[in-house]
């Protein structure tokens, strides 16, 4: 089984913002420097681990992984993240995410579930998590 993992192109931009040269990281990991300009990169497990090892080796900051995982610029958020962020509470966020998926998942059943009583609910069931995937 050949598993691939997606790395956002914004990761390389974030590295640069944190003072880590993305080109140096990619060279150290043995990956193409052309990845810097791609919106997303698919890597197999071996290459993904090589990338994260290289980030740790090239960066002088031992907390670089935590800094990369912290995003405070909302213009980089995915639309579903913005929908959840603008919600009043967790239940409302789930409803907003389900609505987003209903709007973007054509010809697929995703989002709201109907209970036995006929009521529609997207926040009442953890099973919804699997139905949100499209």
**Within this chain, do residues 41 and 59 fall inside the same structural domain, yes or no?**
yes
Overall pTM surpassing 0.75 (yes/no): no
Q: Are 114 and 128 in contact (CB under 8 A)?
A: no
Average pLDDT (30-57) is 93
**Within this chain, do residues 17 and 63 fall inside the same structural domain, yes or no?**
yes
Of 68, 97, 121, the residue that ends a domain is 68
How many domains in the chain?
2
More confident residue, 54 or 8: 54
- Of 48-52, 92-96, 125-129, the range with the highest mean pLDDT is 48-52
**Within this chain, do residues 104 and 64 fall inside the same structural domain, yes or no?**
no
Q: How many Å apart are CA 110 and CA 100, to the nearest integer?
A: 10
**Within this chain, do residues 93 and 43 fall inside the same structural domain, yes or no?**
no
Q: Are 51 and 25 in contact (CB under 8 A)?
A: yes
More confident residue, 117 or 105: 105
Range of the domain at 125: 77-131
Q: Are 33 and 23 in contact (CB under 8 A)?
A: yes
């Amino acid at each position: 089984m050949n598993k691939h993992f997606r790395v956002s192109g914004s990761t390389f931009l974030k590295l640069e913002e944190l003072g880590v040269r993305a080109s140096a990281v990619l060279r150290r990991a043995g990956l193409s420097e052309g990845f810097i300009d791609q919106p997303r990169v698919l890597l197999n497990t071996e290459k993904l681990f090589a990338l994260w090892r290289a980030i740790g080796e090239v960066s002088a900051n031992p907390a670089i992984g935590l800094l990369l995982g912290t995003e405070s610029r909302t213009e980089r958020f995915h639309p579903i993240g913005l929908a959840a962020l603008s919600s009043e509470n967790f239940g409302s966020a789930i409803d907003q995410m389900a609505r987003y998926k209903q709007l973007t998942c054509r010809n697929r059943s995703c989002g709201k579930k109907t209970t036995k009583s006929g009521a529609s609910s997207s926040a009442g069931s953890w099973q919804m998590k699997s139905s949100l995937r499209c």
